Amino acid sequence: MSYYRLQTIDEQEDMNNDFQGYLHNDVETTRVETITRRRPRRCGRKCRVCCRFFFSFTTVVILSIATWILIAVYKKRPMIIYQHTLWSSGDNGVNTYRIPLLIATPKGTLVAAAEARKTSSKDDGQKYLVIRRSIDQGWTWQSETKLLTDERYTDCLIHLGALLVNSRNGSIGLFYSICENQHDSCHIFTLMFKSSFDDGYSWEKAINVSHQIGPGVFTIGPGYAIEKKYPPFIGRLIVCGHGNTQYGETFCLLSDDNGETWRKGGIMRSIPYGSDSSYRDFFPDESQVVELPDGSIFAIIRNERHYKCFCRITALSFDGGESFASDSIRLVKKLPDSAVSAGLLWHGGQLIYSSPGGRILRQTLTLKRSDDYGVSWPKSTVLWPLFSSYSAMTSFSNSTSEYIYLVYEKGYLWGYSSIEFMIIDLSMLN
């Protein structure tokens, strides 16, 4: 039997009120929650600006701290015996110092040269050439000497160039060019050569090499010339360079009379050769050569338009620089090339190579060594972790020391803040 209790009218009204209140509260809660979800609280404009500023400031601080930690670490590297700033951009009213060169003479003098670019870091523009000398193997340096100016011209007239040591007559020499880019202010390219018989303290009147080699753009270096010590052609002077920006080529000039006269030697031309050349074509450019103990000439060449890789071109000459052996031309992927000149040196039975380690950007100055005449480059050391560009090396030929000497373009936020000098102890390298 079931029993049903009849609710009074008052009880039914109470129940209805409670149910309606429940529905009302639930709807309100859902609406508020929905509004909160659909319209989240946003920062005002001032708040957003502050947030962005804080983020940017924090990023800059972190990067700056990391940068200075890197700098502190690399300044204390044991293989770097000594460092010295030869030129700083902005000094002496000069916008940028570029294209460092360096040689060591038989008398124990180090001679460094550079371009003082007056108004900008670009190749175009007025400049003069400067020299600094050290008579104690790099520990102290004399004040700079202004060697040559282009004040009588209006644009882009002087370019380095290469230095030369001639052990036979005790002289040193400097190659430089006038009107390399053939602007409106001049139309005829001229290659010049100056000699000094007192280790760069004074210089003789320049001779016009273009009169000997004929017309055309033959820009020497940047780097140094070599004097052959092994057959064939012992005593021959060899200096290499490149053509203009349209007709890519690497070439050598030869002298068999102590630099009195010069003639054309081996040439490696771009493919295609001429104005039709474009990006990714074979386009050899700036070069540096050394002599190997078997008498052959080893060349390291700038791969200007990144033919097949962002890496260096190498080649050999077996006839004293008269030609480059076509079957010796190589693309060396272990040697990154961000379209920049490199340093090369034969010292202590090994090839020493210096260049930025980046394949795109000119950064991370790296020293590499080869014990098999450039076939492989297994040993590598970073000398400077930030921006860098051109570099050059030398050593004293009559010394058994493990020291080599290096100059390079050094940068922090860009690649040309200063030109630095280093003494490096190869015995301390890994």
pLDDT at 25: 47
Whole-angstrom Cα distance, residue 313 to residue 291? Answer: 17
Residue 38: how many CB atoms within 10 A of its CB? 7
| Per-residue pLDDT at 17 | 52
Q: Cβ neighbours of residue 408 under 8 Å, at least 6 residues apart?
A: 100, 343, 354, 365, 383, 384, 388, 389, 390, 391, 392, 419, 420, 422
Q: Is residue 17 part of a domain?
A: no
Q: Which long-range contacts (CB under 8 A, 24 or more apart) does 375-383 make?
A: 376/334, 377/332, 377/334, 377/335, 377/353, 379/429, 379/430, 381/79, 381/429, 381/430, 382/74, 382/357, 383/74, 383/77, 383/80, 383/354, 383/408, 383/422, 383/424
51 and 169 housed in the same domain: no
Q: Given this model, what pLDDT does residue 48 score?
A: 64
Inside any domain, residue 305: yes
Which residue is catalytic, options 199, 285, 337, 409?
409
C-beta of residue 143 within 8 angstroms of C-beta of residue 132: yes
What is the Cα 321 distance to its own chain's centre?
26
8 A C-beta contact, residue 180 and residue 143: no
Q: Are residues 147 and 97 in the same domain?
A: yes
Judge whether 38 lies within some domain.
no
Residue where a domain stops, chosen among 31, 60, 76: 76
pLDDT of 75: 56
Catalytic residue among 97, 307, 353, 390: 390
Residue 2 — very low, low, confident or very high, per pLDDT cuts 50/70/90?
very low
Which of 104-108, 157-161, 271-275, 301-305 has the lowest average pLDDT?
Answer: 271-275
The label of the residue with tokens 């340096």 reads 141
pLDDT at 186: 63
| Residue 72 C-beta-side C-alpha neighbours within 13 Å | 6
Residue 424: count of CB within 10 angstroms of its CB: 25
* Window from 116-130, 189-203, 332-346 with minimum mean pLDDT: 116-130
In degrees rounded to 5, what are phi and psi of residue 247? -110, 85
Q: What are the strands, taking DSSP E only, across 80-169?
A: 80-88, 96-104, 110-117, 127-134, 145-149, 158-166
Indicate whether 231 belongs to any domain. yes
Q: What is the pLDDT of residue 428?
A: 85
Report the C-alpha gap between 216 and 251 in whole angstroms. 12
**Active-site annotation holds for 33:** no
Task: Report whether pLDDT(38) > 70.
Answer: no
276 and 423 assigned to the same domain:
yes
**In 3D, which of 146, 175, 144, 172 has the Cα closest to residue 160?**
175
Please give the pLDDT value at position 34: 43
55 plus 160 within the same structural domain = no
pLDDT at 6: 41
Query: CATH number for the domain including 164?
Result: 2.120.10.10
Contact status, residue 84 vs residue 421, Cβ threshold 8 Å = yes
- Residue 62's domain comprises 45-76
Question: Which pLDDT score, from 0 to 100, does residue 279 have?
Answer: 87
Confirm whether 263 is domain-assigned: yes
Contacts of 266 (CB under 8 A, 6+ apart): 251, 252, 317, 321, 322, 323, 324
Q: Is 361 inside any structural domain?
A: yes
CA angle 257, 263, 269 (to 5 degrees): 145
Given the DSSP bridges, would you call strands 171-178 and 343-347 parallel, antiparallel or unpaired?
unpaired
**Which residue in 123, 281, 319, 425 is the catalytic one?**
123
Q: Which pLDDT band holds residue 362 (cuts at 50, 70, 90)?
A: very high
pLDDT for residue 183 is more than 60: no
**Rounded CA separation 339/361 (Å):** 9
Q: How confident is the model at residue 52 (pLDDT cuts 50, 70, 90)?
A: low
CA gap 231, 295 in Å, rounded: 6
**Could you give the percent of the chain with pLDDT greater than 90?**
65
Q: Is residue 351 part of a domain?
A: yes
Is 123 known to be catalytic?
yes
pLDDT value of position 259 = 93
Kind and range of the H or E element at 298?
strand 297-303
Q: Are residues 408 and 370 in the same domain?
A: yes
Same domain assignment for residues 217 and 361 = yes
Higher-pLDDT residue of 46 and 254 is: 254
Residues 68 and 170 in one domain: no
Instruction: Average the pLDDT over each of 146-150, 327-331, 365-369 and give the range with the smallest value.
Output: 146-150
Last residue of a domain, one of 76, 95, 118: 76
Nearest to 241 by CA among 210, 287, 208, 209: 287
Closest CA to 408 of 72, 82, 87, 70: 87
- pLDDT at residue number 56: 65
- The residues, any chain, with a CB within 8 Å of residue 314's CB and separated by 6 or more, are 298, 299, 300, 301, 328, 329, 330, 332, 335, 374
Q: Among 32-41, 132-141, 374-383, 420-429, which stretch is predicted with the lowest mean pLDDT?
A: 32-41
Domain end marker among 28, 56, 76: 76
- Cβ atoms of residues 359 and 409 within 8 Å: no
For residue 223, the SS3 value is strand
Domain count for the chain, please give it: 2
93 in the same domain as 72:
no
Same-domain status, 404 and 421: yes
Respond yes or no: is residue 373 known to be catalytic.
no
320 and 297 together in one domain = yes
pLDDT in tens, 68-118: 555 555 555 779 999 999 999 999 999 999 999 999 999 999 999 999 999
How confident is the model over 408-429, as pLDDT tens digits?
999 998 879 999 999 999 988 8
d(CA 121, CA 389): 12
Q: How far is CA 380 from CA 56, 94, 304, 333, 370, in A?
A: 35, 34, 23, 14, 9
Are 140 and 63 members of one domain?
Answer: no
Considering the domain architecture, whether residues 337 and 387 belong to the same structural domain is answered as yes
Tens of pLDDT along 188-247?
A: 788 999 999 999 999 999 999 999 998 888 889 999 999 999 999 999 999 999 987 677
Residues 6+ apart with CB under 8 A from 312: 300, 301, 302, 303, 331, 332, 335, 336, 337, 342, 355
